[in-house]
């Protein structure tokens, strides 16, 4: 039996989703009768015994097997449902299992359960292992211009620099290590070990404090809407933190609380005989309620009350995020990777076409002291870059934050600068595989305009220059190479596909000629010319269009041409995908009732010709 075409970038086959419907040129809503009828028509057309020309016999046999396979899948209710839900993966899951006689809902439930079990087995082959190292550094002495660090006249420049370097001190060190194990699709266990060392006085390297802990956390998903989490300290002091979350389509409730021996003792000493008074113990808790505020907007409001600190905190947050996609592929679904829903697309010229933008505004009240925090951010998906800015105002002062992070394949690097009344801090972060290193560096313990300016301007300037002089040229080069590989495939690697397509077109010639002669005799729908290729035409995509005039002529019936939408047209007889993973369009020039017309139809949109505007002279 014929298998689906490969799904890698550069392959010429259509996407696997709805491929078998495309082979039969039927909508996914087709009835059993329509499937049988279309199967009979195509099996007669491509049957090897019906071919007189030996040159086209091999191609006809392949097309015949494709039609047979499509009918085999779509004519059986179970395999059709599995294919509709999960594609080819669904067909693999029903192999060797008896789903017949079950209701459609039960088949769906078992399919998704089998899919989850398969993914779980693959995940359990790897034990989640994450580590983080944080090293705090006080480098304020190097940038200080006062006190003992002033350059003395008797000092040379190198001596002065040596004194400044000598003043740089490590202020803290922390290491976290996380092991995670999933027992099943609902329950997981996480073991976190923490150790930290901080200096009581940065000037006194001997006065240090060392702390360590081991936390065990169990997470359980009761249902798609409710989950529970329990975390306990395995060392002293023993604590137990409980957390539960309920979430539906428009709102979420989060409740956390903490138990410890000290807290429990408060409840056993409510009455004090010495003072003959009562004290009301307060159990630490956090209650948070979030809700989508408007049905047509992503704006979400969150109300939070917390008593974990000595002073209760009440806060209200407004937030929103949205996905933007300014690429031509936005309205043209494209290939996905075989094991995920990640969309594979040709590189854009700017790298700024796809991303997620968000904003957040929080007002909080700790006792009688209010605070206001605002945050703006954007994640540029193609570049793997995330930019963020934040501003916090309160009675104690103000703080501003600028952050940039680049993420690649299992690695990332980030830098952020915090400037405020409490000083200037530069934070660097490196991530590779599952290990993370953070370096918070104190530049100044007080606000310094010059240091604040240089600490923010230098990274920002480097980011802008890097984008224009490094990333943009790389994007252009990557895009050229992407389409260059496609041309190579068309000329060499996919010569068999091209030959089979040409032979399929020859098989359709007689049918197309008869249809056009019939349409011309009644002044009906006559396809003059049709091309299938990239929606965006530029120097990179030149010459990648496919002439599909004859295949479309063969599909005309009773002065109408109809091709279902919601799937690529690359699987139609006489078609192939000339630019995989790229937005495509069908350009058609035709005559109807003596007048010439032109239509452009995006790949995943239905074709209905003649257009409604062309029905009237």
**Which structure tokens are listed for 225?**
């809407």
Per the structure block, which two tokens stand in for 141? 């002495």
Instruction: Give the pLDDT score at 587.
Output: 92
In a domain, 328, yes or no: no
Residue 32 burial class via C-beta count within 10 angstroms: exposed 0-12, middle 13-18, buried 19 and up: exposed
Could you give the CA distance from residue 168 to residue 155 in angstroms, rounded to a whole number?
19
Rounded to the nearest 5°, which phi and psi values hold at 557?
Answer: -145, 125
Crossing angle of helices 54-74 and 77-86, in 10° steps, is: 90
Contact 130, 177 (CB under 8 A): yes
Backbone conformation region of residue 558, classed left if phi is above 0, alpha if psi is from -120 to 50, else beta? left
Say if 357 falls within a structural domain: no
In contact, 329 and 320? CB cutoff 8 Å: no
Of 258, 190, 250, 242, the closest CA to residue 225 belongs to 250
Q: Give yes or no for a contact between 425 and 418, defined as CB atoms under 8 angstroms apart.
A: yes
Task: Return the pLDDT at 586.
Answer: 92
Rounded Cα–Cα distance for residues 508 and 604 (Å): 23
Q: Which two tokens stand for residue 149?
A: 């660090």
Q: Which residues pair with 379 in a beta bridge?
A: 356, 386
**Residue 267, pLDDT score:** 60
- In angstroms, the CA 318 to CA 302 distance is 7
Sheet holding 526-534, edge to edge: 546-547, 526-534, 584-592, 595-602
**What one-character DSSP code corresponds to residue 489?**
I
User: Which H or E run includes 402?
Assistant: strand 397-408
Cβ contacts of residue 339 below 8 Å, gap of 6+? Answer: none
pLDDT of the residue at 100: 66
C-alpha to C-alpha distance for 450 and 143, rounded to whole angstroms: 10
Would you call 358 helix, strand, or coil by DSSP?
strand
Q: Is 134 exposed, middle or buried (0-12, 13-18, 19+ CB in 10 A)?
A: middle
Please write the tens of the pLDDT for every residue from 155-205.
Answer: 566 777 777 777 788 888 888 888 888 888 789 888 888 888 775 444 444
Specify if 116 maps to a domain. no
CATH code of residue 508: 1.10.287.110
Q: With CA atoms as reference, report the closest residue to 299 among 373, 376, 247, 359.
A: 359
Give the pLDDT confidence of 337-393 residue by residue, as tens digits.
Answer: 333 333 445 667 777 878 889 999 999 998 778 899 999 999 888 788 889 999 999
- pLDDT score recorded for residue 230: 93
401 is a domain residue: no
Neighbours of 121 (CB within 10 A): 9
Res 409: pLDDT: 66
Percentage helix, strand, coil for the chain under 3-state DSSP, each rounded to 5: 30, 35, 30
Tokens 């059709």 — which residue? 80
Radius of gyration of the chain (CA): 33
Q: What token pair was written down for 161?
A: 């620099």
pLDDT for 281 equals 63
- Domain-located, residue 255: no
* Bond before 31 cis per omega within 30 degrees: no
Return contacts of 381-390, CB within 8 angstroms, 24+ apart.
Answer: 381/354, 381/355, 381/356, 382/347, 382/348, 382/351, 382/352, 382/353, 382/354, 382/355, 382/475, 383/351, 383/352, 383/467, 383/471, 384/408, 384/412, 388/416
Where would I find the H helices in 392-494? 449-466, 472-488
Is 512 within a domain? yes
Which tokens belong to 454? Answer: 């240089």
pLDDT at 290: 94
In a domain, 47, yes or no: yes
Residues of the chain with pLDDT under 50: 1-15, 124-127, 147-151, 200-207, 332-344, 617
Of the candidates 56, 55, 54, 97, the one whose C-alpha atom is nearest the C-alpha of residue 79 is: 97
- Name 217's bridge partners: 190, 231
- Domain with 556, as residue range(s), is 19-75+494-614
CA 537 to chain centre: 27
- Please name the residues in contact with 162: beta carbons below 8 A apart, sequence gap of 6 or more: none
Virtual CA dihedral for 62, 65, 70, 71, nearest 10 degrees? 150
Residues 119 and 111: beta-carbon distance below 8 Å:
no
- As a residue count, the chain comes to 617
Residue ranges of the alpha helices (H) in 206-358? 261-268
Place of tokens 């000595």: 310
Tell me whether residue 213 is in a domain. no
Peptide bond into 391 cis (omega under 30): no
**b/e for 587-616, b at 16 or more Cβ within 10 A?**
bbebbbeeeebebebbbbbebebbeeebee
Please count the structural domains in the chain: 1
| 177 close to 144: Cβ distance less than 8 angstroms | no
At residue 6, the pLDDT reads 39
Looking at residue 10, its pLDDT comes to: 36
What pLDDT, on a 0 to 100 scale, did the predictor assign at position 2?
39
DSSP letter at 210 equals E
């Amino acid at each position: 039996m014929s298998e689906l075409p490969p799904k890698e970038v550069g392959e010429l086959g259509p996407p696997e989703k709805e491929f078998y419907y495309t082979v039969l040129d039927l909508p996914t809503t087709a009835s059993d009768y329509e499937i049988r009828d279309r199967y009979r028509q195509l099996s007669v057309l491509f049957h090897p015994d019906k071919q007189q020309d030996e040159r086209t016999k091999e191609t006809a046999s392949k097309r015949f097997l494709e039609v047979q396979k499509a009918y085999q899948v779509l004519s059986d209710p179970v395999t059709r449902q599995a294919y509709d839900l999960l594609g080819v993966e669904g067909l693999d899951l029903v192999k060797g299992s008896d789903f017949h006689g079950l209701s459609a809902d039960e088949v769906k439930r078992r399919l998704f359960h089998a899919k989850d079990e398969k993914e779980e087995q693959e995940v359990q082959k790897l034990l989640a292992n994450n580590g983080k190292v944080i090293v705090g550094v006080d480098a304020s002495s190097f940038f200080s211009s006062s006190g003992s660090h002033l350059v003395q006249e008797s000092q040379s420049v190198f001596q002065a620099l040596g004194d400044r370097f000598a003043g740089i001190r490590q202020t803290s060190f922390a290491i976290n290590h996380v092991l995670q194990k999933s027992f099943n699709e609902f329950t997981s266990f996480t073991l976190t070990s923490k150790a930290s060392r901080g200096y009581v006085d940065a000037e006194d390297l001997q006065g240090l404090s060392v702390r360590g802990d081991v936390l065990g956390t169990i997470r359980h998903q009761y249902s798609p809407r409710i989950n529970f989490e329990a975390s306990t300290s395995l060392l002293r002091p023993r604590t137990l933190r409980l957390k539960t979350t309920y979430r539906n389509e428009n709102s979420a409730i989060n409740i956390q609380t903490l138990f410890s021996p000290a807290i429990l003792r408060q409840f056993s000493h409510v009455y004090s005989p010495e003072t003959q008074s009562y004290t009301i113990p307060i159990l630490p808790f956090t209650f948070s309620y979030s809700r989508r505020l408007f049905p047509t907007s992503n704006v979400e409001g969150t109300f939070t009350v917390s008593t974990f600190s000595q002073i209760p905190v009440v806060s209200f947050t407004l937030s929103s995020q949205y996905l933007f996609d300014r690429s031509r592929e936005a309205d043209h679904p494209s290939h996905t990777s075989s094991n995920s829903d990640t969309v594979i697309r040709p590189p854009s010229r700017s790298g700024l076409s796809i991303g997620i933008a968000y904003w957040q505004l929080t007002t909080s009240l700790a006792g009688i002291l209010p605070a206001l925090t605002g945050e703006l951010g954007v994640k540029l998906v193609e570049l793997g870059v995330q930019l963020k800015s934040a501003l916090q105002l309160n009675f104690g002062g103000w703080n501003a934050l600028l952050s940039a992070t680049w993420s690649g394949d299992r690695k990332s690097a980030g830098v952020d600068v915090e400037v405020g009344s409490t000083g200037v801090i530069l934070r660097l972060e490196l991530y590779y595989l599952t290990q993370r290193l953070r370096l918070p560096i104190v530049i100044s313990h007080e606000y310094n305009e010059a240091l604040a300016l240089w600490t923010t301007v230098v990274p920002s300037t480097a980011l802008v220059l890097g984008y224009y002089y490094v990333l943009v040229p790389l994007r252009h080069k990557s895009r050229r190479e992407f389409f260059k590989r496609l041309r190579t495939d068309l000329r060499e690697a996919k010569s068999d596909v091209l030959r089979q397509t040409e032979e399929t077109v020859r098989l359709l010639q007689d049918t197309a000629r008869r249809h056009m002669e019939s349409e011309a005799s009644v002044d009906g729908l006559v396809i003059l010319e049709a091309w299938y290729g990239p929606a965006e035409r530029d120097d990179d995509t030149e010459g990648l269009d496919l002439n599909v005039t004859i295949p479309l002529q063969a599909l005309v019936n009773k002065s109408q041409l109809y091709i279902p939408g919601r799937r690529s047209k690359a699987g139609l007889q006489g078609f192939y995908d000339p630019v995989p993973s790229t937005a495509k369009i069908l350009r058609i020039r035709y005559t109807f009732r003596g007048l010439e017309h032109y239509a452009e139809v995006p790949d995943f949109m239905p074709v209905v010709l003649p257009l409604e505007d062309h029905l009237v002279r």
